[in-house]
Amino acid sequence: MRDVCIIGIGQTPIGEWWDKSIRQLAYEALRAAVEEAGIDRPDALFVGNMLAERLSDQAQLGALIADFAGWRGIEATTVEAACASGGVAFQAAVRAVASGAIDVAAVVGVEKMTDLVGPGVTSGLATASDADYEQIHGVTFVALNALLMRRYMHEYGVPHEAFAAFAINGHRNAVHNPNAMFRKEITLEAFKAAPMIAPPINLLDSSPICDGAAAAILAPLELARDLGGAAPIRVLASATATDCLSLHDRRDLLGLEAARLSAEKAYRQAGIEAEDVDVFEVHDAFTIMAALSLEASGFAERGCAAREAQDGAFALDGRLPIATLGGLKARGHPVGATGVYQIADVVTQLRGEAGPNQVPDAEIGMAQNIGGTGATVVTHLLAPA
């Protein structure tokens, strides 16, 4: 298995891009990434996307985007695992390069959600849950997360306002990120007064509906050094694990079993412990998901993550900085693109290019991308090559 490195990243700002199509968004991110990498044309393209078939009537994004990027002819496919689509597309690219079948791989996560805001997006996002056992009852994706949050609050005696720390941290970190959707701080008072979406989840517990694309270029270590592009960042581990989709069928409702399995596999692959991670791009689609992911990954005791967040443990100057450039909450969560944005953020930190948000001495970075309410979880560990 060859060592695989990231030699270029690219992102579009996240927002409401009504004037840009999926292929345009993807192209902009890829263009920036290949320029950084110093290459003209990759050997293969892996696309992470969840909703284009439903919201844009467009399948086969691999070929569509490869052609629009000027790479007609190359290998190209789409990889999907609901909101973890970006992360699993990145993993597919890593595997292709590691196997020796592909030398230079491009990966792009892209999602366009705002053209059809309303029932279209809500029912689209619901496809991440079990159609036969969850959707059939009319429960939305937010409502499923609300059930988890309600149970967490009950089980551990944690008040709702404890979760505010995740949202406040994300917004604070987004201020200096030019690609973030919400570049403004929020207060505890604003959090408490936010409109309710699905009790106890309110607007500021939730990541936004948005559009965006993020890209990365991968190459084997030796070739990365020859190409002379951006400083290569090595993929130390790439691990996916799954759980049942339905919440009612989980063995341990608040355990986020797939996150635990995925993180443990990743630590094993890299030969490290959770304590060795210096920066963690967490999947904070909702504040409850940030807490569950931190606990399942070994970064906090069960039931303690929200309270620790209140104490500043996960701020830029805390013991484990998370959502360092805004996270899903404030940078934004264009679902199928998010996993690649997380990778790009970790790369930015490991290169020391995070400006005012730089985590000092960041040597090992982790990104964890979650599909559904925890049914597919993919964890990546990165370090400078």
With vertex at residue 167, the alpha carbon angle to CA 326 and CA 131, rounded to the nearest 5 degrees, is 95
- Torsion sign over Cα 365, 44, 31, 23: negative
Helix, coil or strand: residue 375: coil
Site residues (vs its own copies, CB under 8 A): 1, 21, 44, 50-51, 53-54, 56-60, 62-64, 66-67, 72-82, 88, 91-92, 95-96, 98-101, 123-124, 126-128, 130-132, 135, 238-245, 249, 257-258, 261, 371-372, 375-376
Give min distance, CB of 110 to its own copies, in A. Answer: 14
Name the residues annotated as catalytic. 83, 333
Q: For helices 287-296 and 164-174, what crossing angle results, to 10°?
A: 100
227 φ/ψ angles, rounded to the nearest 5 degrees? -65, -30
Q: Which is nearer to its own copies, 115 or 363 (CB)?
A: 115
Burial string for 202-230 (b: 16+ CB within 10 Å, else e) reads bebbbbbbbbbbbbbbbbbbebbeebebb
Lay out the sheet containing 105-112: strands in order across.
44-48, 105-112, 211-220, 4-11, 233-242, 376-384, 365-371, 279-281
How far apart CA 259 and CA 247 sit, in angstroms, is 15
Min. distance of Cβ 368 from its own copies in angstroms? Answer: 14
